[in-house]
A and B are shown apart, each in its own frame.
Chain A
């Protein structure tokens, strides 16, 4: 089965372009005829990761591979990293500033949503180096 490889640069601190990578992936999956309920899970999970790079990491890269039976998404940034991943994964935990909260973010629900909406979820982070999140959803 041939696969489709997509790469996106995600700009930091830009709320107007934020979500465009996830939107493009959503449109691609729609064209490929993937079930709408699955597309929705992929779109939300990827957007949460994309917006985390926008807000918390000054931007990053999204690398997407679509196969016949699944999609792999890697979200990679060179931001400040996360010191305590299990704390960051808790519902309600957020370090978002007031400015970010005014944008509608900072509920501390992004990482938990990503885990819930995907079949595979992996997060790796080193303080001062960056964060990589890997997601997979089976069709």
Chain B
């Protein structure tokens, strides 16, 4: 599934979208960053409610495909700046994490 398809299915708001609409390989749900780095597959959709700058650092270093902020959680100012700088895909959906993830 491409990021653009995921955006449609989740009725998500696009906060940041790099030029390339990549193919997403599965997903990972979690808010504890070291679990994400240890377990999330590369190019995956990462479902979380964590919304600070560390999310951008983890997404960039662990090659996350797209960050999906669930429950309508909004990125804080630092995260917003960082995802634009680092060209990380970040979208926001109103769905809870479970509901969002099962749509993949």
Contact = CB atoms under 8 A, between A and B. Distances in A.
Contacts of A112: 38
Interface string B47-61: 000101111011011
A89 to B, nearest CB: 13
Contacts, number: 72
Nearest to A25: B61
Interface residues of A, number: 26
A18 B55 CA distance: 11
Contacts of A26: 60-61
13 contacts: A15-B53, A18-B57, A19-B60, A23-B57, A23-B61, A40-B63, A43-B62, A47-B37, A47-B57, A47-B58, A107-B35, A109-B32, A109-B37
Nearest to B31: A104
A105 B62 contact: no
Main secondary structure of the interface of B (DSSP, over half): helix
Sorted nearest first, the 7 A-B pairs with minimum C-beta distance are: A19-B57, A109-B34, A107-B32, A43-B61, A104-B33, A107-B34, A113-B38
Interface of A: 15-16, 18-19, 22-23, 26, 36-37, 40, 43-44, 47-48, 51, 103-110, 112-113, 116
Interface residues of B, number: 21
B52 A103 contact: yes
Interface of B: 31-35, 37-38, 42, 50, 52-55, 57-58, 60-63, 78, 86
A104 B63 contact: no
B42 A19 contact: no
Nearest to A110: B34
B28 to A, nearest CB: 14
B88 to A, nearest CB: 11
B86 to A, nearest CB: 8
A27 B57 CA distance: 13
Given A15-B54, A16-B53, 18 more contacts: A22-B57, A23-B57, A23-B86, A26-B60, A43-B61, A44-B37, A44-B61, A47-B61, A48-B34, A104-B31, A104-B52, A106-B32, A107-B33, A108-B34, A109-B32, A109-B37, A110-B34, A112-B38
